[in-house]
Amino acid sequence: DVGGALVVGPESAGADPGPACYGTGTQPTVTDANLVLGRLHAEQRLGETVALDLERARLALAGLGPGANAEAVIDVVNANMVRSLSRVSLERGFDTREFTLVAFGGAGPLHACALAEQLGFRRVLVPRFPGVLSALGMLTAPEAAEQTQSLVLTLSANASSTLRDSATILERAARDELEAAGVAARHILWSGDARYLGQAHELRVAVDSPGLDAFSTAFHASHEKRFGYSTPDGPVELVTLRARAEADRPDVVLPEVQAGPSRMFAPTGEMLVVDRGNLAAGDRVAGEATIFQPDATTYLPPGWVATVDGFGNLLAEPV
């Protein structure tokens, strides 16, 4: 930036012109930094045709100036991602030690272990095909229709009929919308945006049924978890009511992978390069290693070990 600090993003090189190492771009990118550090397999071709140009990546990064090397680029982009992940985990009251960080997308698994270390996650899960996980999610998600209504309703005894009438209208509208598409509504999910009277921000809370007590109880608990305190006697205001009609979830069976003799792959002084397609259930890979596949690359730092489970997922943990 104008002060001389290294900045990564928010602009993206995209696919055109793309990173310098693709052979068409000229600006240094995170992809170039990962390639220079050996975390991307330089001999792997993109789509079996495009070769990665290591020298172009080095030249692009050299143009950043003194002190701005590949390691610095990765440090900056990881710091950006840590801030974003913190906002949806730690700042919402979740104890990251109790969760597994799921890495997806083509480049997510390149950074996941470093992010997990900084945020306190104890395990990273890399799906079998991380580059197309969002597509799998679309195929396994139930068809749904959602209806919302602004209320600004204080949850007191005299608001019961208003809430009940609004819920009835919303449920009918959500069911009608879904059934108009030829899909039967099997489930109704309820949520709302609520706040203490006088607050300028809301919290979204889910309830089993749209009642006064249900929303009040859920909001107090959510506020306690998010901000560390609640005011059980304080009046709660429901700002938005939400009804979601869902069909049955598609029955998708994920194929298991063949089990092998539980081999251990470990580096012998330099970066270990592993073709994920050659791994069987029970195999283990120790860092420092890069595990490549057509849709993504996974980087294991030193001190991490990944185990292949029965469905071909990688479960990475520090040792």
Model pLDDT, residue 8? 63
CB atoms within 10 A of CB 85: 18
User: Between 47 and 122, whose confidence is greater?
Assistant: 122
State residue 4's pLDDT score. Answer: 47
- Predicted confidence band of residue 43 (pLDDT cuts 50, 70, 90): confident
Model confidence pLDDT, tens digit, residues 283-302 = 999 999 999 999 999 999 99
234 — pLDDT class (breaks 50, 70, 90): very high
Q: Which residues contact 141 (CB under 8 A, 6 or more apart)?
A: 249, 250
Question: Which amino acid is located at 37 in the chain?
Answer: L
Give the separation between CA 91 and CA 256, rounded to whole angstroms. Answer: 37
Torsional class of 219: left (φ above 0), alpha (ψ -120 to 50), beta (otherwise): alpha
When computed from its CA atoms, the radius of gyration of the chain, rounded to whole angstroms, is 25
Question: In CATH, what number does 142-246 get?
Answer: 3.30.1490
DSSP state of 231: -
**Cis ω on the peptide bond leading into residue 66 (within 30° of 0)?**
no
pLDDT at residue 129 is higher than 70: yes
pLDDT tier, 11 (very low <50, low <70, confident <90, very high otherwise): low
Domain coordinates in residue numbering, the chain: 20-77, 88-136+254-318, 142-246
- 110 and 101 Cβ atoms separated by less than 8 Å: no
Bigger pLDDT: 5 or 308?
Answer: 308
Longest alpha-carbon distance in the chain: 72
| pLDDT of 3 | 45
Strand order of the β-sheet with 296-300 is 272-275, 289-293, 296-300
Report how far residue 91's alpha carbon sits from residue 119's, in angstroms, rounded to the nearest whole number.
Answer: 11
Over residues 51-102, the pLDDT tens digits come to: 899 999 999 998 776 556 899 899 999 999 999 999 889 888 889 999 999 9
- Cβ-proximal residues to 135 (8 Å cutoff; 6+ apart), any chain: none
- Quickly state the pLDDT bin for 259 (edges 50, 70, 90): confident
Main-chain dihedrals φ then ψ at residue 239, nearest 5 degrees: -90, -40
Structure tokens at 140: 């396994």
Instruction: Give the whole-angstrom CA distance, residue 173 versus residue 147.
Output: 7
Q: What sections of the chain are H helices per DSSP?
A: 30-36, 54-62, 70-87, 108-119, 133-140, 160-180, 212-227
Q: Is the pTM of this model over 0.85?
A: no
pLDDT at 49: 77
Count how many residues are written for the chain: 319
Per the prediction, the chain carries an average pLDDT of 91
Q: Are 132 and 319 in contact (CB under 8 A)?
A: no
Cβ atoms within 10 Å, residue 241? 23
What's the pLDDT tens digit per position in 13-38?
Answer: 566 788 999 988 888 899 999 999 99
